[in-house]
Structures are given as C-alpha cells and as structure tokens.
Amino acid sequence: MKALVKKSPEPGLWLENVPTPQISINDVLIKIHKTSICGTDLHIFNWDAWAQKTIKPPMVIGHEFVGTIEKMGSNVHDFKLGDLVSGEGHLVCGRCRNCLAGRRHLCKDPKGIGVNRDGAFAEYLAIPVTNVWYCDTNIPQFPSRNFVPRIGFWWAEFDRLTSGNQLHPFELLRANYCLYSFSITSSSSAPNPQREVGG
C-alpha cells in the first residue's frame, strides 16, 4: 500500500510502498478514506527538536482519520465490515494501575498512532477494537475525520486542567480547527492536498 512515511531523520516526508498492516484477534483493519493534518504531523515533517527525540524512523505518520472496516479479528463482535469509523489515537497498555482503575488517560505507557507506531496517512490502518468508534453516516466524512483532534485534545488536556493549570482560549481554537486535509486513494500516485479552513 502507499503511505506517507518519515523515512529518515531529516525534514520531509516520503510517499512509499509499505506492507499492509496485519491484525490480531482484537484488531480491526480500516480502509482510510480521509485524514487531517495535525500540528504533531507538522513537527514530524519539519523534524524539530520534539520530533528528533520522539520519532523513530521509518514510520508512517498521521492519527486523524475516517474510513471503513475492511477486516476484523476473530474476537471483534461489535462492528461489521463496511462500518464507517474513526478512532482514538492513544493506545493504552490496559494493564497498569491507572488503566485497571479506569483512568486510561493516565496510562503509564501509552502509544500514539503515527507517533510511536505506524499511523493513518496510508491506505490502511490497523488498531485495537477498543480504540474504534462508529461515525454517523449522515455526517459528511470531512468533519468526521476531525473528531480525533477534539477527543485527543481533551484526553491530553484533562490532566493539565485537573492539576490547576488554566486552558488558554487559543488552545481550544487550535484543537477545534484543522487547516489542511488530504485523501489517499489507491488510484492516485500521490496525496491530493486540499486547503480547507474550518472543521
């Protein structure tokens, strides 16, 4: 499949052919229809100080997406093939004290899609069923792919808010607006950038 990859430790991204991800019994394989570009992806593209200490190339990036279920593991029973879905971008261990107490947002060893493991700027993405949610088919896919930054934002900010720090209004705006998007289709040789304001 085609994917946008941080191939080497330097600025830029590369359109590469990579293996389609494999799934385990608790995973789903999602055919990506649309994605959004987050500030995290821009950090990775620019290869700034944060990216240099966080990202381990080669890696498919991207974590905001909407698509349809292409394949399911044998232990997945809550979805069906063809369901329109998106997903939470933070994969938690499920075994640490916080996860077992229901405080998954405080997992001691979370993995970010497109940050610590291959992401959604590809034709397919495999993630655990616990991270997948339905998208209402009456909502256009353009806003559906933007559900992830909102959810991920509140997930990440919850700890900061409860620790007495204040949320700056600009951060709320940043979380609720994506300025760029693109789609990857198997019929095109490269992503098709579309500048879109709002979200």
Catalytic annotation present for 43? yes
Closest CA to 91 of 44, 28, 168, 9: 28
Cα gap 7→100, rounded to integer Å: 36
Pick the catalytic residue from 20, 33, 35, 40: 40
Selected catalytic residue, list 35, 43, 63, 90: 43
Question: What b/e sequence results for 148-171 when a residue is b if at least 16 CB atoms lie within 10 Å of its CB, and e otherwise?
Answer: bbebbbeeebeeeeeeeeeeeeee
Q: What are the catalytic residues?
A: 40, 43
